Homo-oligomer: A and B are copies of this chain.
Amino acid sequence: MNQVPPRTIVSRRSRPAKSPLSREAIVEAALAILEQQGEGGLSMRNIAKRLDTGAASLYVYFANTDELHAALLDHVFSEVVLPAQQGNWRDRLKDLLISYHGVLEARRGLAQLALSSIASGPNSLRIWECILRLLSEGGVGATTAAWGVDLLVLYVTSIAAEQALHTTDDRGLTRVASVLSAVTADEFPHLHRLRGDMISDDGPNRSQWAIDVIIDGLSARSPPA
């Protein structure tokens, strides 16, 4: 009976007490904005506004926009699932890349962001290491593996970015589609014949297929001369 009940008036405040700034809090706010407003909302001023402060305050924690973006990317890369130890190396590599792709796809604008930044945070390192391990397990030569990591990550990021461009930008795919449908069999016979296939099935099938293509290519390749 000694306990004083919490004063509900405090927790009823429409705005919670302003939490202190930190790299973590800023990244969190940026992530929330990315989800709600897409890449366009990801400005210093806008992120600062959500934290009830001015843009200048963010410069205490990040030297510039690039650095904040890199931190944001590494933060979401923590969600990438590294495959278990057992099983075929190809399947596991594929799983890893699909997980990576899924993380980029899950948040609007994230893939575009990943394309324009060079991530090299701790979670990127984890992922690179895992890909290297799987490739060397598969007997891929050292140089091929080293170059392959870069290639695989870049490639999956590009696929995600392109799909995002197609799905979010109404302009994008529609314009390509209308251009393709206007193509004549005389001028561009192959385009004309395959124009249906070129736009079709922009979903998981297509990205899985694309990942298969590059893994096939990599494992077929001997180290560069």
Contacts of A113-139 to chain B: CB distance below 8 A: 115-116, 118, 120, 125, 128-129, 132-133, 136
Q: Does A191 contact B (CB under 8 A)?
A: yes
User: A176-B120, A179-B125, A224-B205 are known contacts. Are A147 and B190 too (CB-CB below 8 A)?
Assistant: no
Q: Range of interface residues on chain A?
A: 35 or more
**Which chain B positions have C-beta within 8 A of A165?**
118
Interface flag for A33 (CB, 8 Å): no
A71 and B101 alpha carbons, distance in the complex (Å):
30
The answer, yes or no, to whether A149 is at the interface (CB within 8 Å) is yes
Task: Give the chain B neighbours of A173 by CB distance below 8 A.
Answer: 118
In the complex, the count of this chain's copies comes to 2
A: residues with CB less than 8 A from B are 66, 112, 115-116, 118, 120, 125, 128-129, 132-133, 136, 142-143, 145-151, 154-155, 157-159, 161-162, 165-166, 169, 171-173, 175-176, 179-180, 183, 188-191, 193-194, 197-198, 200, 205-206, 209-210, 212-218, 220-221, 224
